[in-house]
């Protein structure tokens, strides 16, 4: 989602009486401009074109607003991961490569959501909805790791949870450092996708998944 900066703050924000959606748009725009810690609840109200008291109709405070933004981000993230994994078709290894590319693509296309999800300092269990959305996104990676582990003999299969945590950490590190869609992106002498593919190849080879 990208928000236009044209027009007055009220024109940018509060449309059709939907205050909650206007506040989410405001938060995303302000995150893009100032980072997740760079604005106040009053700033979000001002951007949305409403009074400072209006946001309290829907959110207890700024942290609850950010938690809702993060929850929405994880829901979009999950959808992209599910689509990329596609039930492991045509084979788990190929689908796993798509999964990694989808992770990086989300960080590149939705930096404000990504920042709210991972950099806003909001606890993952701030709300039950946020916790559930994050768990569902992680479950896609874990299920993919279970499918890959199943390619190995029964006695040589690593724990899928351990694999998922390693792959999540590797993907997140590369996405955060090199695949950002904002000014925080660092230069790299190769594409982030190539770096992630090489890292995953080394990791899976170490587990005995040699081109499976």
**Tens of pLDDT along 106-123?**
999 999 999 999 999 999
Angle (CA) 195 174 111, round 5°: 130
Output the pLDDT for position 174.
Answer: 94
Res 20 pLDDT > 50: yes
What number is the average pLDDT over the span 89-102? Answer: 95
- Span 158-203, pLDDT tens digits: 999 999 999 999 999 999 988 877 766 677 788 999 999 999 999 9
Note the CATH number of domain 18-59.
1.10.10
**Cα Rg, the chain, nearest whole Å:** 19
- The structure tokens listed for 47 are 């951007």
Q: Is 173 helix (H, G, I), strand (E, B) or coil?
A: helix
Give the separation between CA 157 and CA 155, rounded to whole angstroms. Answer: 6
Q: Which of 124, 119, 78 is nearest to 99 (CA)?
A: 78
Give the separation between CA 130 and CA 132, rounded to whole angstroms. Answer: 5
Q: Could you tell me the pTM of the whole model?
A: 0.87
Domain ranges of the chain: 18-59, 69-180+188-207
Output the pLDDT for position 190.
Answer: 87
* Whether the Cβ atoms of residue 147 and residue 158 lie closer than 8 Å to each other: no
Give the separation between CA 24 and CA 4, rounded to whole angstroms. Answer: 14
With tokens 């582990």, the residue in question is 149
- Span 30-69, pLDDT tens digits: 999 999 999 999 999 999 999 999 999 999 999 999 999 9
Residues 6+ apart with CB under 8 A from 90: none
Note the CATH number of domain 69-180+188-207.
1.10.357.10
Output the pLDDT for position 13.
Answer: 45
- Span 133-159, pLDDT tens digits: 999 999 999 999 999 999 999 989 999
Q: Which of 119, 75, 110 is nearest to 182 (CA)?
A: 110
* Whether the Cβ atoms of residue 209 and residue 151 lie closer than 8 Å to each other: yes
What number is the average pLDDT over the span 77-81? Answer: 98
Give the separation between CA 33 and CA 61, rounded to whole angstroms. Answer: 20
């Amino acid at each position: 989602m990208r928000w236009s900066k044209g027009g007055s703050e009220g024109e940018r924000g509060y449309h059709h009486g939907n205050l909650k959606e206007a506040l989410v748009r405001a938060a995303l725009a302000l995150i893009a401009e100032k980072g997740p810690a760079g604005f106040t609840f009053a700033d979000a109200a001002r951007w949305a074109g409403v009074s400072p008291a209006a946001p309290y109709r829907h959110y207890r405070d700024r942290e609850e607003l950010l938690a809702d933004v993060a929850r929405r981000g994880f829901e979009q993230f999950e959808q992209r991961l599910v689509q990329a994994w596609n039930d492991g078709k045509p084979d788990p290894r190929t689908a796993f490569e798509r999964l990694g590319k989808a992770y990086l693509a989300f960080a590149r296309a939705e930096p404000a959501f990504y920042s709210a999800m991972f950099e806003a300092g909001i606890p993952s269990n701030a709300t039950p909805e946020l916790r559930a959305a994050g768990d569902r996104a992680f479950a896609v990676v874990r299920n993919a790791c279970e499918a890959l582990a199943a390619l190995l003999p029964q006695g040589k299969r690593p724990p899928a949870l351990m694999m998922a945590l390693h792959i999540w950490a590797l993907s997140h590190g590369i996405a955060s450092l090199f695949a950002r869609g904002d000014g925080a992106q660092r230069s790299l002498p190769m594409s982030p996708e190539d770096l992630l593919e090489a890292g995953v190849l080394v990791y899976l080879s170490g587990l005995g998944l040699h081109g499976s």
